[in-house]
Amino acid sequence: MIKSDYFNLKFIDEKLVFINQVLLPHSVEYIETEDYERIAKAIEVLEIRGAPAIGIAAAYALSLSQKNGISSDSFSRAYNRLASTRPTAVNLFWALNRMKKLFDEKFPAISVKHLYQEAVKIHDEDIANCDAIGKHGLEIFPAEARVITHCNTGKLAVGGEGTAFNVIRIGYKAGLVSFVYADETRPLNQGSRLTAFELGMNDIPFEVISDSTSGFLMKQGKINIAITGADRIAKNGDTANKIGTYSLAVLCKFHNIPFYIAAPTSTIDCSIENGSEIPIEIRASAELLSLHGTLLAPLGTKAYTPAFDVVPSSLISGIITEEKLHKPPYCF
């Protein structure tokens, strides 16, 4: 069971301590490491997940790669290893490149302390960004908002209190949100495993639904706003998020329900013009075809397992960042 004082990531005594999200919600285990390879593996297997959290963890990992001595070769090896972990979330590359810029500018005079300080700064900035996103999001809610969200965007996905989740949390505290529907988020159930517990921890009324139930609820008039996070936002506002987000946005458009994105500006990739340029990570077939090692499909079944899809900017009512609520047309 997740405890009320749980945390996602902390840097303590020159070690990264992080919660193992694969085991949640039934078991709470914190992993402590000073090995950048262990952190890279944790990102790959989703022990650490959520675009901002991945970036923060990678910054700490790159710092730790230099703890036994500064070397441009070892720095490059660690950089390349971390960059290979997950291709879609641009926060990973944003954080790695920020660390690399500092390293290149100060090398050979740079110390591991400089790297630690920069990683902590990235972490602290995300905490502040989460707070600002939550506040800017207050203006999106209709009276007695009945919200639907997809995947997990709370404390477990970031360095602070969350992105889309924090908008919901602050909206509920302000009396603007009356109920939340959390998609289970197949195939790894970040909604039913993680978002459900974070909603419960904040005493926000909610129900978990299958991903395919959302349209039925919209038809019944039980949902009047949708908000999700993002893993990469193109210059024109096209947005990649957890698989199933595109379907949710299309349903919102059909039912005339506003659909919002909440993410820090580090998620915006101005180097790409539109969503067609966003690389989509393909996960292992076993994530869809098995559960805790038990095969759910006939032996030999093949599966198509994209981790993300892309929502066209034309379906997005607004993008909430730490700067403001951006309205269409988008041009970042």
Active site residues: 231
Residue 156 near residue 8, CB atoms below 8 Å: yes
What's the longest Cα–Cα distance across the chain? 64
Phi, psi (degrees; rounded to nearest 5) at 299: -55, 135
Let me know: does 31 contact 42? Beta carbons within 8 Å: yes
Q: Name the strand (E) or helix (H) holding 310.
A: strand 308-311
Tokens representing 146? 């009945």
In this structure, how many other beta carbons lie within 10 angstroms of the beta carbon of residue 323? 12
Return the bridge partners of 291, or none: 294
Distance, in Å, from the CA atom of 163 to the CA atom of 40, rounded to the nearest integer, reads: 23
For residue 47 the two structure tokens come to 């022990």
Strand partners, 119: none
Would you list the DSSP string of 316-328? -SEEE-SS-EE-S
Reference 211, options 240, 180, 181; nearest CA is: 181
Q: Is-cis flag, bond preceding 25, omega within 30?
A: yes
Closest CA to 89 of 285, 266, 315, 313: 266
